[in-house]
Amino acid sequence: MNMKKIIITLFALAMMLPAKAQMTPEAVMGMTPDLPTTAALLNYWKERNDPFRDEAPDSYILDEFREAWNAANDQIQDMQEKTLAPGMKKNAMAGLVAGTNKTAGEVANMSEAEAKALAMSTMKGRISSMGLSQADFAKLQGGNLSDEEARAMASKVMAKQTGGLTAKDIEAMSHMTDEQRAAFMQESGLGESMTAKMNADKGKRASSQKQYQLATELISLGQKEHSLQQKAIEMIESARKEGVALFDRKYRKADAEYQAEISKANFEAEEAISAADVKAAQARLDAALSAWFSNMSRFYAEYIPMYRDAVAGAMDCCRAQLLPVKRQHKEVMEQLYALTRSAEYALSDSVPFEASYMYFELSEKITEFELEDELYKE
């Protein structure tokens, strides 16, 4: 077994150790292979682009990185299935299906007839909570309500929500003085019924307000997360654009001259007849190739540190900035789940891992450091 295989085997064995430990975002990040050094990347490019090198490359740093990355990815997926997924599935199945008092697990085990009955019961409950009957709902679905029928339904909904106050009452009181309105409310019993309704709904309103505040916070956190994710991605994209700009500014003119000289020398070598002419053309070609290679090597020596720093910076953005926001997101989802028991908030445990998975996936971008496609794009 050669040294390369020994290193990969040892790495794979080392990756197995955290499987028994608790899976955390930090553990996932810690399993990410180290990025190759700037010197190693430059050497990798030189060995594969040196026009005078005949032997096979000595460096397989990117192949080794990919093998280590794939081994880590397999281990992360295995850890997720063994430690994170079972708990997430249990939480999701324990969550309530919206508008019912049934859990997702209970609904999943229902027959088609039972699920249909639950849907009908849920719909009836919602209609009743609005103060409407099944007949009213049928009319609404038909869409052929007269203005009078529409006003009557609106009045029913208002009465249900306010404790008895109807549109007709509001119309009547609009023509009364304050004293007359007070007397009307007392004589009709509306004052007492509306107060009772307000007191009954007080807890619901507080709960709804808290839920609204948390849902609003969740939206705000989602916007922050998106912004940070874009920031990380754009760091790498910007480095590539800066690399092209660097080439245009400092290296493209010389590159074009050397490329033209290479083409000319190749043509002369093909057309040469005498040995002296062939030798002269080959000398010109070798000089042009050497100059081209030196120019490109200087470019990559300047560009690779920029690109590697961008990849490392994008990964650090996930670790230092995105992960704390994802943890806040998790906490808010937990509060919403405690408040609503809704299945849509049951998977909060997975949220922080979104930052660590992005950290891990961005590390693979180091294998895309070469810029030839962008440099010579027509």
Q: pTM of the predicted model, to two decimals? A: 0.67
pLDDT at residue 298 greater than cutoff 60: yes
User: Do the Cβ atoms of 190 and 169 come closer than 8 Å?
Assistant: yes
Range in 137-151, 260-274, 309-323, 347-361 the model is least confident about:
137-151
- Tell me the pLDDT tens digit for each residue of 72-85: 999 988 887 777 55
119 Cβ contact list (under 8 Å, min separation 6):
none
| Residue-level length of the chain | 378
- Tell me the pLDDT tens digit for each residue of 333-369: 889 888 887 777 777 888 999 999 999 999 999 999 9
The structure tokens listed for 51 are: 């026009």
Helix runs in the chain, H state only: 3-16, 25-30, 38-49, 61-79, 85-94, 104-108, 112-129, 134-142, 147-162, 167-173, 178-188, 190-246, 252-271, 275-317, 323-340, 351-363, 372-375
pLDDT reported for residue 306: 97
Average pLDDT rounded to a whole number, residues 251-279: 88
Can you say how many angstroms the Cα of residue 68 is from the centroid of all Cα atoms in its chain?
24
CA–CA gap between residue 92 and residue 80 (Å, rounded): 16
The structure tokens listed for 145 are: 């309500």
Q: How confident is the model at residue 176 (pLDDT cuts 50, 70, 90)?
A: low
